[in-house]
Structure 1
Amino acid sequence: MISRSPALPVALRLALRELRGGLSGFRIFMACLILGVTAIAAVGSLTRAIQEGMEREGQSILGGDLEINIFQAQLESDAREWLTERGTLSDSARLRTMARVDGAPRSTLVELRAVDNLYPLYGDFITKPMLDNDALFERRAGKWGVAIDPLLADRLGVEPGDTLIFGNVKADIRAFIEREPDKANMGFQLGPSVMIQRAALEETGLITTGSLVNFYYKLKMPAGTDIKAVRKDLDEAFPDANWRVRDRSTSAPGLRRFIDQMGIFLTLVGISALVVGGVGVGNAVRGYMDRKTKTIATFKILGADGSTVFKTYFFQILLIGLVAIVIGMVVGSLLPSILTLFLPDTLPVKPDGGVYPVALVLSALYGLMITIAFAVWPLGKARDLPPVRLFRALVAPERRWPRFIYMATIFGAATVVVLLAVGMSDNRILAAGFMGGAGATLGLLRFTSWMIERLASKAPRSRNPLIRMAVANLHRPGAATGAVVISLGLGLTLFSTLALIEGNLSERLTEQVPEEAPAFFLLDIQRYQLEEFEQTAKGIEGVDELVTVPNLRGRVTKLNGVNAADVEVAQNVRWILRGDRGLSYMNELNSGSHLVDGDWWPADYSGEPEVSLGKEAADGLGLKIGDTISVSVLGREITATVRSLREIDWGTFGFNFVILFDPNTLKVAPHTYMATLKASDAAEVEAHKVLTNAYPNVTAIRMKEVLSSVNTMMDQIGTAVRATAAVAIIAGILVLAGAIAAGFRQRVYESVILKVVGAVRSQILRAYLLEYALIGLITAAIALGLGSLTGWIVVDFVMEMEFSFLPAPMIFTVVTSLLVTILFGLGSSYRALGIKPNAVLRTE
């Protein structure tokens, strides 16, 4: 008899004895866990490595300890004096303009940065050849010097020694830029960088009223200075200042936000892969318990209670799981060092190698909870089965649920996974939505597999024995239908969803945009140039649909008389209250929007200030017809009444403004104009050459250059997403292999019976082929349906873009599902058919 006391040591000893037989049957189990834990550990470690690198290099990325950024205005003398009293102050400016080749009809858009001799305060500005600022930028023989991005040299076909023209200034190319330490802090760039002396910018004639230029003032303070205290003092000294302040801990906020969000997303996808792997854990445990039926029955006949049986195999599963988790943690900790080799050069820091305990512990917790959640079910069912039922489990599987304590354990483990995913995320809504969607998908897949089994059991019996056998195999005891649908279905659903989202983004950017969008955006057109500019543009053959609009900047200061800073507004419109916003006025409503409430001004309107707002923005700001909004324009606060609300179609790629003033209020304010024009392919080059040569101060942004920059970024994002989706699919394939392996004993038994009654191998294989083809097609259909639904929701409602059903990823999903299911299914079945009937019948 097996001793009942103490139960724990006995169970542990039995578990260790069972492990002496090796890990046969647990290879898929371990592979699933290792894959999922590795993915989460690697993503978490890489994200943390990048974040630590940015924190460590915060001064270099910002270019100072403190930065003040002012749009279209320079620092007042009192503020400059205040800053210089606290450290070393460096002055720079940045604007988009055209770079033209002297003596040649070639030009392109560039990001022109004008820096002083103190640049950079931190970090290394590296050029090729390596020159100091004086040698790079000083005036020689009437020409200033510049350093350019090598990409600009490729675009314009220039090299050191050649001359570029910026407005009224000619400058010699003296070096190529190898490293721009604070480039990441500048945000998104449309053109290659050009560095020039700060004093030279004043001579270009590019800085005029309304020019879209940012002025940066970077402060280097003595070591040990309390930066937060300095920021607080700055706010108190200049409470009404219209500037943006950053310190070294908040440098490159856009990049930081992108890295954080990408890390969250990839971690969530990694958790999905681990959940898929969890199905494999459950399948492996079920198959193992199936093989241990006689051993368990023997334990119980010899006096072991259900608790001892459960603990024995739970400890065994837990020990194997812990080994797999440790392997996954080790591999995950090593992967970031390899992945850094493939990171884009646009990152301001290269992550250091190292161990990040928080990321590794989280991955281990996820792996442990998933193991418990999926292993307890089959173990709990085996715990309460009497010996006679254990012996009949092959042909009459037990369908009762495990005890409440085991169901509570499963629920608790799943809850921990959700709480970890949501609680550790900065974007809890995204995490909760993702986890909720994954749970709903898992539940729907399980329900669908159950419906397939039910329908197959109720289906009319075919006269064709092969079809009859294939349909029967979908619902027979130990059928792999449920496991295959859940495991492969979840991975393929994730893949098809991501493929549809990425495909729709690419299609919108590369196919529809060129047909709808203008060929050029033209900025900084002066009022005195407008009439001549319009005549010149319209005179170019192939140019049509020239649209010009006034361009001003203003800051929203009050909503219905309440300071904007004190008003609670919706998350999606907070950007309207941060810094200056683009403003305009129009006599007639353009085609990019239509009224949904209120009415448009008459052509001769000359009354009190009024505005037309975008409907979404108005709703988020809590404004309606008749409410007031105050905007500071060039230092003058204008309070206007909301006259109308517009639905804005941003997809037209024309000039659409959230805030449009009446045609009278801003008419006399100093401002510039912007324009869009469409041109045939043949006329694009000519229009670009004529307009940029005739108007050196005008910046021409080609839509193709915008799309090129966006596509580069999308490619980088897509690579990361596809790689992570591949992890989920690999997990699904592993689980599929485990599910089929778990039913191997049943398949052997079945093939032996069929051979005994006269079936030949080819007939049995055809039946199996049909069975797995049915499962593969059904799984593909489910994945297509769920993936298409999820992709449509994200594209249509979240991204607010037109959704297209793309055949390529869908066909890939179907073909992958069919091939993988059939290959693994037939591989297992072929092995089962190779076993001699007498070898099996002797043991039964």
Structure 2
Amino acid sequence: MHRRIQSKLPFGLRFALRDLLGDPRGFGVFVACIVIGVAAISGVSGLSRSLAEGLAREGRTILGGDASFSLVARELSPEQRAFFETRGRICEISLMRAMARRDDGEAAMVEIKAVDPATYPAFGAVTLDPATPLDDALAEKDGVAGIVVDPILLARLDVKLGDTLLIGNSRVQLRAKLLNEPDKLAGGVGFGPRVMMTRAALKASGLVTPGTVVRNATRITLAGNAADEDVKAFVKAADAAFPRAGWEARTRDAVSPQFSRNLDRFTQLLTLVALTALVAGGAGVANAVHGFVERKRMQFAVLKALGATGSRVFAIALTQVMAAAAFAILLGLAVGALIPWAAAGALREAAELPVSAAMDARGALFGALYGLLVTLIFALIPLGRAHEAPVAALLRDDARSVKLTRYRAAAFIAAVALAALATVSSADLKLGAAYVGAAVAAFAALRGAASLTMRAARALPRPRDARLRLALANIWRPKSLTPALIVSIGLTQTLLVALALVEGSVHNELARADAGEIPNFFFVDTPKSQAQAFAAFLAEQVPDARIEHVPMMRGRMVEVKGAPVGKIAVADDQKWAFEGDRGVTFSASLPANSQLAEGEWWPADYDGPPLVSLEQKVAEGIGVGIGDDVKVNVLGRELIAKVASLRKVDWRSYAINFIMVFSPNAFRGAPYTELFTVAYGAPSAEIRDAMDARLARETAKRFPMIVSVRVKEALQAIDKIADQLALAARAAAGLAIVTAMLALASAVASGQRARIHDAVVLKTLGATRGWLAAAYGFEFGLVGLVASLIALAAGIGAAYAMVTLVMKIDFAFPIAAIVATTVGTLLVTIGLGLAGTWRALSRRPGPELREL
């Protein structure tokens, strides 16, 4: 059967398949490089889809209903409540931050979720330890309300179940540990442990005062089995019925737009890193194809001598390479399809994410196309030599006269197609284009460095040490390994350096907190009636501290130049400013932590129509300029203000600053709270921690309504998330390292023939194995050093852009990590190079001379 099928195939295809199946040597590295890259790209895409489908499938449970409407510092009006009650079942919760404290004043910030146990949760179940009905755990007993808490709070305050704590003006009892809440993801990231209580207990605590930042969310479960279109129609009807409500509406298919967008961005970053691994392995593909052509050189010469045209020889060789590529792509897709299932369990346990393992056909298609294009880019030029070289040149192994213009053009077209695919398939076109530009620049720099290194090695004076002379000659001679080594090593080290610098910069933020360069505390929800007394208290507790405070309310921009915010184009990097309510303030003078970029500040006694100053980048992101009108909803009141100025804000200072600063007359008589920051230094971290603990404790005793947010703890929470993301990025970068090592091994393997020849001749002349190993060590060390220097510059540039432009934090340069990365790369390069040339070092001269 097998032979009958083959007999029906065209001669060229039949010959190619027989030859490939009879002698598949040399394609191991080729297949491995393609498999790793394709598997990573398709696997990351499949994992992203699994998360997205899990969110969609569990959307009702995560959101707590079909739709959710949240208001800040206010509740539904009777008319709004009646509107919702006639359309479905409602469940109301309240979210806010507060301080939980022991009788001795020891306190910790907590994230309160106040619920009505009769209606909460609408879907799913709350898991408690010990297993207790939620209504029983939260019920008031002997005049004391119950709470269930995150186990972290028990350890943080050194308390146990049955003990009581003070929250606001109320005493509450710890009844159970809160192990799981079905709608946890919809609440966003919190900086303190969760405390769940009843809404009645929250009202009794006295924490909710005019202007207090409390988010009241109303979840609605529509009657019947409502489809997604019905839910969206309901939300539109609610917005139309109450156009000035100023609420934030979410639906079950878009539980957390910010999480979904961050997931898209992170998936894209991992995909680009995986693509880098695939492209880095391109050197391995090129070397494998080059070795294949070398092995088949005599066979190609015989075919041409017997009358085969160059086109037929090229078709035979291309068929073999593409058959190997097809096998590698299919194997890569199979491995990639397993990744979502392998990672689903870990994500459910570690991150409590609803993962529904699935394969992404679109991601698999892109992975296959990436693998195909990378194969063509790096295989066409080596194969072109088999087409263009005449019989005599093939027999003499002389490729100097071969013209490869058409193959270089074809490889260039494939590279352009790859760049276009990477850009078009990107969720963020700017990031995709930036990646393509950076990749092209890196390749150009590394190839240029390789060319300059070869020229420099040839131009240098001949050293006295013969080992150095051999090393320099190996660097510049024809068929040198220098280009392949510099590209492989350079791309890998660029990734490592960039990751080390980004992680170092994130950790540096914690060091800044320890040094007192940024505020020690934010104090939020300070009632304006207590602002003066609290300022005096802080001056008494920390006399030399830098204390700042401003009024703060919560509001959201609803219209820009007469158009609803939801219908205008917002720059991707500024969408965060329009997701939910943001802090707003008013000031008679320019805030100390910002700089006027355009326009003028209003006079201190200004009493005209409301004016607003916007942060410059946010204004540019929505196309707003001086003189334009914006409408904001603050505490349910809509206000139209004219843009009077734009400000530059350094968010990295962690000082008080706002996107929107209004003229004082805009909110005359409005309820608000004060936001305080306190910054002070200390001789040591231990003393500073003690000062922080004492200030937090005294604040909780004397001002129980004020929430103390320790900046260092907030940064540690962010740092933990950054570490998790960095772990995923390092895993993806590890793929690039593996493919680079494979490329390095294939490059050394492709030069085995020449190295064996050199080793045999030099051994005949008296060279020892140690002498040859030293010469090869010098060669790989010099090439690795050049690649490391280029990679160091590229990695620093990429990390600086990521840290300052995307993450918006200060750039740090951890010298120890960079030196360790550079030295480690050099040692690995030399080690792999010597390991790859061991065959040449171990050959005996006699048998080899008889074969030359």
Q: For this structure pair, what is the TM-score category when the shorter chain's length is used for normalisation?
A: over 0.9
Displacement of 1:185 in angstroms is 0.7
Letter in 1 for 2:223: P
Deviation at 1:739, TM superposition (A): 0.4
SS for the counterpart of 1:161 is coil
* Compared CA separation, residues 399 and 28, structure 1 to 2 (3 A): farther
How far apart, CA to CA, are the structure 1 residues paired with 2:307 and 2:173? 93
In the alignment, is the contact (CA less than 8 A) between 1:543 and 1:677 conserved in 2?
no
Partner of 1:826: 834
**In the alignment, does 2:322 pair up with 1:318?**
yes
- In the other structure, the counterpart of 2:533 is 532
Q: Does 1:722 align with 2:727?
A: no
Matched, 1:763 2:771: yes
* Matched residue, 1:523: 524
Instruction: Give the 3 Å change call, closer, same or farther, for CA 290–63 of structure 1 in structure 2.
Output: same
Identity of aligned residues (%): 37
> 635-644 vs 297-306, which deviates more?
635-644
1:84 and 1:364, CA in 2 relative to 1: closer, same or farther beyond 3 A? same
Q: Distance in 2 between matches of 1:374 and 1:53?
A: 39
Corresponding residue for residue 648 of structure 1: 649
Stretch of structure 1 that moved more, 724-733 or 508-517? 508-517
Residue 402 of structure 1, aligned match among 404, 408, 413: 404
Give the structure 2 partner of residue 732 of structure 1: 740
Q: Deviations over 1:556-581 (max 9, x none)?
A: 45556666666656554455555543
Residue number in structure 2 paired with 1:816 = 824
Q: What's 2:614 paired with?
A: 613
Which residue matches 1:304?
308
Task: Classify 1:555/1:269 alpha carbon distance in 2 versus 1 (closer, same or farther; 3 Å).
Answer: closer
- Aligned equivalents of 1:607, 1:355: Cα separation in 2: 60
Superposed, 1:676-695 pairs within 5 Å as 676-679=677-680, 680=682, 681=688, 682-695=690-703
The equivalent of 2:157 in structure 1 is 156
Shift of 1:371: 1.8
Which residue number corresponds to residue 762 of structure 2? Answer: 754
Give, in whole Å, the separation in 2 of the partners of 1:239 and 1:113.
28
Aligned to 2:811: 803
- Superposed CA deviations along residues 319-353 of structure 1, whole A, max 9, x for unmatched, are 22222223322222223333334437464434344
Deviation string, structure 1 residues 652-682 (Cα, Å, up to 9, x no partner)? 2121123223345434322211111235523
Rounded to whole Å, the distance in 2 between the matches of 1:164 and 1:524 is: 20
Deviation at 1:629, TM superposition (A): 4.4
DSSP 3-state at the match of 1:131: coil
Q: Contact 2:651–2:808 at 8 Å: present in 1 too?
A: no
Partner of 1:257: 261
Q: Is the 8 A contact 2:347 2:353 kept in 1?
A: no
Aligned partners of 1:612 and 1:646 also within 8 Å: yes
Deviation by residue 1:777-811 (Cα, 9 ceiling, x = unmatched): 11111111211122223333444443333323322
Number of the residue aligned with 1:268: 272
Cα distance, 1:69 vs structure 2: 1.0
Give the aligned partner of residue 109 of structure 1.
Answer: 109
- 222-231 or 178-187, larger mean C-alpha shift: 222-231
Q: Is the 8 A contact 2:126 2:134 kept in 1?
A: no
Change over 3 Å in CA distance of 1:490–1:664 after alignment to 2: same
Tell me the CA shift for residue 377 of structure 1: 1.5
- Tell me what 1:3 maps to: none
Instruction: Describe the shift of the 1:73–1:652 C-alpha distance in structure 2 as closer, same or farther (beyond 3 A).
Output: same
Aligned to 2:37: 36
| Counterpart position of 1:340 | 344
Equivalent-residue separation in structure 2 for 1:674 and 1:314 (angstroms) = 69
Aligned partners of 1:181 and 1:348 also within 8 Å: no
Q: SS of the counterpart of 1:546? A: strand
Q: Aligned equivalents of 2:53 and 2:611: distance in 1?
A: 49
- Assess if the C-alpha contact under 8 Å between 2:652 and 2:810 holds in 1: no
Separation of aligned partners in 2, 1:831 and 1:588: 76
**Mapped contact 1:31–1:324 kept (Cα < 8 A):** yes
Work out the CA distance in 2 between the residues paired with 1:713 and 1:564: 30
Gaps of 5+ in 2: 1-6, 683-687
Once residues 351 and 648 of structure 2 are traced to their aligned partners in structure 1, the CA distance between those partners, rounded to angstroms, is 37
Deviation at 1:388, TM superposition (A): 1.1
Moved more, 135-144 or 663-672: 663-672
Whole-angstrom CA distance in 2 between matches of 1:84 and 1:201: 23
Secondary structure at 1:170 match in 2: strand
CA positional deviation for 1:279: 1.4
Is the alpha carbon distance of 1:568 and 1:372 closer, same or farther for their aligned partners in structure 2, counting shifts above 3 Å?
A: closer
- The 2-side partners of 1:642 and 1:64 are apart by 39
The reply to whether residue 787 of structure 1 matches residue 773 of structure 2 is no
C-alpha separation in 2, matches of 1:336 and 1:542 = 56
Distance 1:834 1:572 in 2: 58
Q: 2:445, 2:790 within 8 Å by CA — same for their partners in 1?
A: no
The residue number in structure 1 matching 2:387 is 383
Letter in 1 for 2:758: E
Task: Report how far residue 385 of structure 1 moved.
Answer: 0.6
Cα pair distance change 1:399/1:617, threshold 3 Å: farther
Q: CA deviation at 1:462?
A: 2.8
From the superposition, tell whether residues 267 and 238 of structure 1 become closer, same or farther in structure 2 (CA, over 3 Å): same
Partner amino acid for 1:130? A
Contact 1:741 1:828 in 2 (8 A): yes
Q: Secondary structure at the match of 1:367?
A: helix
Confirm whether residue 840 of structure 1 aligns to residue 848 of structure 2. yes
Comparing 229-238 with 612-621, greater Cα deviation is found at: 612-621
Alignment-derived partner of residue 715 in structure 2: 707
Specify the alignment match of 1:124 in structure 2: 125
Contact 1:592 / 1:648 at 8 angstroms: preserved in 2?
A: yes
The question of whether the paired residues in 1 share the 8 Å contact of 2:506 and 2:719 is answered with no
- The Cα shift of 1:223 comes to 3.8
Asked if the contact 2:513–2:520 (Cα under 8 Å) also holds between the matched residues in 1, the reply is: no
Letter of the aligned partner of 2:726 in structure 1?
A: G
CA, structure 1 residues 632+366, in 2 after alignment: closer, same or farther (shift >3 Å)? closer
Q: Which residue of 2 aligns with 1:595?
A: 596
User: Does structure 2 conserve the Cα–Cα contact (< 8 Å) formed by 1:32 and 1:734?
Assistant: yes
Quick check: 1:425–1:431 contact (8 Å CA) kept in 2? yes
Structure 1 pair 318–220 and aligned structure 2 pair: CA distance change class (3 A): same
Shift of the 665–58 alpha-carbon distance from structure 1 to 2, 3 Å rule, reads: closer
Instruction: State the match for 2:685 in structure 1.
Output: none
Q: Provide the residue aligned with 2:371 in structure 1.
A: 367
Query: Aligned equivalents of 1:61 and 1:632: distance in 2?
Result: 27
Q: Give the match for residue 429 of structure 1.
A: 430
Any conservation in 2 of the 1:780–1:813 contact (CA below 8 Å)? no
User: In 2 relative to 1, CA 683–61 (structure 1 residues): closer, same or farther, beyond 3 Å?
Assistant: same
- Tell me what 1:65 maps to: 66
Deviation at 1:238, TM superposition (A): 2.1
Question: What is the one-letter code of the residue matched to 2:173?
Answer: D
1:327 and 1:191 mapped to 2: Cα distance?
Answer: 46
* Residue 389 of structure 1, CA deviation: 0.8
Judged with a 3 Å threshold, the aligned counterparts in structure 2 of structure 1 residues 782 and 113 are, in CA distance, closer, same or farther, namely: same
Could you list the runs of 5+ residues in structure 1 that have no partner in the other structure? 1-5
The 1-side partners of 2:692 and 2:512 are apart by: 18
State the Cα deviation string for residues 3-31 of structure 1 (Å, max 9, x = none). xxx99722222223323444322222122
Task: Give the drift of 1:361.
Answer: 3.6
- Distance across 2 between alignment mates of 1:701 and 1:358: 44
Shift of the alpha carbon at 1:180?
A: 0.8
Between 685-694 and 585-594, the greater mean CA deviation after superposition:
585-594
Aligned residues: 836
Change (3 A) 1:628 1:322: closer
CA distance in structure 2 between the aligned counterparts of 1:340 and 1:575, rounded to whole angstroms: 28
Contact residue 779 and residue 817 of structure 1 kept, 8 A: no
SS at match of 1:263: helix
Mapped partners of 1:801, 1:537: distance in 2: 28
| Paired residue type of 2:113 | R
Higher mean displacement: 592-601 or 445-454? 592-601
Whether contact under 8 Å (1:276, 1:732) holds in the other structure is: yes
Distance verdict in 2 for CA 1:276–1:697, change over 3 Å: same
Q: Output the CA distance in 2 between the equivalents of 1:563 and 1:209.
A: 28
Contact kept, 8 Å, 2:492 with 2:737, in 1: the verdict is yes
